[in-house]
Amino acid sequence: MIKLEIGNRAPDFTLQSNTGEKISLSQFLGKKKVVIFFYPMDESPVCSREAEAFKSKYETFKELGAEVLGISSQSVESHKSFSNHYDLPYFLLSDLDNCVRKLYGVSSTLGILPKRVTFVIDKEAIIKCIFSSQLQPAKHAEQALLALKSKN
């Protein structure tokens, strides 16, 4: 599996979103920074806390010129339900075959549960921050904001 690091170019991808739109990383190039958070599963208690943390800080992400994208292997229908349940203002992308997860080197814990990893990507598709924590879901949004506010 590929191991991406800070300073690497983020791989482009195209996935279907909870709204039915196809979303690509490249559509934001030169326009917006992108925060991608890979999460294990819609509606689980920990993932719900993570989604809510990104929602509560979404306006700040927008003010900093960033788009937020959540990615997991659930279906578009599952993402639609999860997004509606929590009134999420950002896209949830369906990576049914885990191709994008693999492309970004996001493995599984004990080979079972997909890891929770967040990437902050600048307008030129360069990775500026990678944060991984399975049990601190709210910290993903906090770390992403710190990275966006950083001058590096």
φ, ψ at 121 (rounded to 5°): -125, 130
**Residue 26 one-letter amino acid:** S
**CA-based nearest residue to 116, from 127, 104, 131:** 131
Please, are residues 65 and 33 in contact by the beta-carbon 8 Å criterion?
yes
**CA-based nearest residue to 79, from 25, 38, 43, 27:** 43
Which one of the listed residues 47, 51, 88, 130 is annotated catalytic? 47
Annotation marks residue 129 as catalytic: no
Mind telling me the catalytic residues? Answer: 47
